């Protein structure tokens, strides 16, 4: 996604200059993830500073309008031990153990912490990696509902993906996915929840119908 130079804040520009060279080259620093082959690091695409940050109200309530926790202790009380360890403490579930790694049921995957719709079954594919894999986030933007941040932990160069609304750790994104995007969002099952009632096909059809009605009324 092209980012107009004028939209880049100086502070972020400085970060980009530091971060991009490290991501541009493939090198021996990459290590195999548990149970998988060495991932190809995807270039950090950068924060879209033109996107407005969520308002305080949006950031503080979940999909049902309930207040979101503000502290780790509050999150711990709200989530299961596994969800808390992965979504709030950046843990990783063991490969082939999560409940969604090979699920192809139609629906929308919401953030386990705040309920925000993040991925849909339309973009899901079964990956040999053992975690739920998606070719794109629900809004098809590299920095939309899913935020991307360079992650140098464990001696690896990766791009962490988090829920933009509540900051929940979701997983990482790699550039070894299938066509057409070539992108693999490698997500922990514990960080997401499948909402079968939220059908991405129906939602798209509704938008098209709205457009047709608008045209007919013109
Ligand atoms: Zn969230």
38 pLDDT higher than 50: no
Domain spanning 56-217, CATH class: mainly beta
- Could you tell me the distance, in angstroms and rounded to a whole number, from the CA of residue 209 to the centre of ligand 1? 30
What's the token pair of residue 212? 């047709």
Q: Are 58 and 165 in contact (CB under 8 A)?
A: yes
pLDDT band at 191 (very low <50, low <70, confident <90, very high): very high
pLDDT at 205: 56
Task: Work out the average pLDDT over 160-168.
Answer: 97
186 given a catalytic annotation: yes
Q: What is the mean pLDDT of the chain?
A: 77
Q: Is 78 helix (H, G, I), strand (E, B) or coil?
A: helix
Ligand 1 centroid from CA 114, angstroms: 4
Q: How confident is the model at residue 19 (pLDDT cuts 50, 70, 90)?
A: very low
- Residue 93 CA, ligand 1 centroid: distance in Å: 18
């Amino acid at each position: 996604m092209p980012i107009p130079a004028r939209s880049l804040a100086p502070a972020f520009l400085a970060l980009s200059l530091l971060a991009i060279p490290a991501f541009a080259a493939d090198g021996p620093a990459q290590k195999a993830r548990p149970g998988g082959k060495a991932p190809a690091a995807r270039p950090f695409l950068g924060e879209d500073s033109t996107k407005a940050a969520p308002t305080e109200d949006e950031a503080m309530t979940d999909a049902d309008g309930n207040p979101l926790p503000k502290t780790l202790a509050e999150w711990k009380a709200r989530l299961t031990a596994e969800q808390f360890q992965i979504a709030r403490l950046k843990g990783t579930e063991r490969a082939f153990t999560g409940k969604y790694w090979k699920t192809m049921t139609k629906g929308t995957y919401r953030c386990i912490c705040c309920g925000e719709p993040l991925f849909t079954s339309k973009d899901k594919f079964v990956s040999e990696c053992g975690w739920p894999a998606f070719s794109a986030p629900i809004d098809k933007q590299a920095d939309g509902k899913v935020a991307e941040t360079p992650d140098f932990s464990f001696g690896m160069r990766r791009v962490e993906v988090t829920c933009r609304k509540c900051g929940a750790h979701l997983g990482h994104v790699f550039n070894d996915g299938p066509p057409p995007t070539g992108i693999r969002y490698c997500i922990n099952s514990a960080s997401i929840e499948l909402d079968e009632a939220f059908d991405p096909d129906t939602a798209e059809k509704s938008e098209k119908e709205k457009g047709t009605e608008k045209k007919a009324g013109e």
